[in-house]
């Protein structure tokens, strides 16, 4: 991939517990998670809930365009969401990538 653009405000948001995610969303989006994964690692970005397990780890997978980001979740062939964990692993910064 080349010529990717990342749009972000670089603001970190706290990762939250599964109990903080609305019940209907847990049942619809995250029913596949077992109880151990259900405990933490959730966050809401642009009105949509994510879990850290939804993201693929970035280790040069998409080249230098996403250097500095830790993971990505594809929405389409041309766009998706990238995340960057803080040093303590308690917060996550999000961005939208597109080409």
Per-residue pLDDT of the chain (99 residues; tens, 9 = 90+): 468 899 999 999 999 999 899 999 998 999 888 766 567 899 999 999 999 999 999 876 556 778 889 999 999 989 999 999 999 999 999 999 998
pLDDT, position 34: 74
Query: Which whole-number Å values give the CA distances from 20 to 16, 17, 23, 52, in the listed order?
Result: 7, 6, 9, 15
What is the predicted pLDDT for the residue at 1? 44
**Residue 12, pLDDT score:** 96
Number of folded domains that form the chain: 1
Instruction: Note the pTM of the prediction, 2 decimals.
Output: 0.86
- Distance (Å, rounded) from C-alpha 4 to C-alpha 84? 17
Domain around 50: 5-98
């Amino acid at each position: 991939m080349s010529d990717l653009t990342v749009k972000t405000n670089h603001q970190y948001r706290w990762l939250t517990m599964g109990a903080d995610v609305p019940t209907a969303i847990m049942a619809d989006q995250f029913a596949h998670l077992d109880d151990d994964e259900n405990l933490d690692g959730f966050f809401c970005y642009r009105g949509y809930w994510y879990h850290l397990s939804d993201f693929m780890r970035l280790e040069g997978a998409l080249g230098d365009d996403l250097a500095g980001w830790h993971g990505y979740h594809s929405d389409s062939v041309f766009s998706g969401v990238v995340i960057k964990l803080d040093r303590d692993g308690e917060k996550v910064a999000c961005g939208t990538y597109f080409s």
